[in-house]
Amino acid sequence: MPLPRFIMFDLDGTLIDTAGEITEAVNRTLAEARLSPLPLEQVSGWIGKGTAWLFGHALAAATGGRSGHDSALFEQYYPRFLALYAEVTGQLSSPYPGVPDALAALHRSGCQLGVVTNKERSLTLQLLDRHGLRHQFDVLVAGGDTPRGKPSPEPLQLALRHAGVAAGEALFVGDSSNDVQASRHAGVTVWAFNHGYNHGEPIATAGPDAVIDSFEDLMARLGVTRA
């Protein structure tokens, strides 16, 4: 495709592999609640719909379904989960191979770049700062910036307004069915990595316009060189 004027990226599972630190925060919280830890593979399946959604599912799994989003246990321990997550954010995660160079090359090519995530703004900024990526983005839409998060199109639509770009001039790059659905409803072309967190399902089943293997593959498809 011609180089888009605006490329939006999801964060967790797309730009940065955060499953390890999210699992660490979940399990530290469960330990304080005297509940057994959960495996990384299980926690990874809940990434992408925001921290409250994720922790509610983790709590339900750890209690055998006795406690979830609407429980007293959730109300007691969700604030503690957020605090523990803030402690580890950026410490046990890493950008996927090629991310810094790819973002720099896209910026040099004249593209506006954005992050559109369901993660809370404070945690998003902390994560981007920790990995030295914040300065690469012209637009940031995080959890709570719109009434509904992805898979609603509202976050993408807000990002498009901030960038001053029409949907047909943009590309969204993500890793989950949430990203695909949000892009479809916003009228934006969507490509998806197969290295992310798509709730345990192959990303191809979500029907993105393209499945991409790596940031090297992304750059090749866009016709942008890193030099």
Please pick, among 10, 12, 175, 179, the residue that the annotation labels catalytic.
10
| CA–CA separation, 56 and 220 (whole Å) | 40
129 part of the active site: no
Helix %, strand %, coil % of the chain (to 5): 45, 15, 35
Q: Is 223 exposed, middle or buried (0-12, 13-18, 19+ CB in 10 A)?
A: exposed
Q: Exposed (0-12), middle (13-18) or buried (19+): which is 152, by Cβ within 10 Å?
A: middle
Phi (first) and psi of residue 25, to 5 degrees:
-65, -40
**Any idea which residues carry the catalytic annotation?**
10
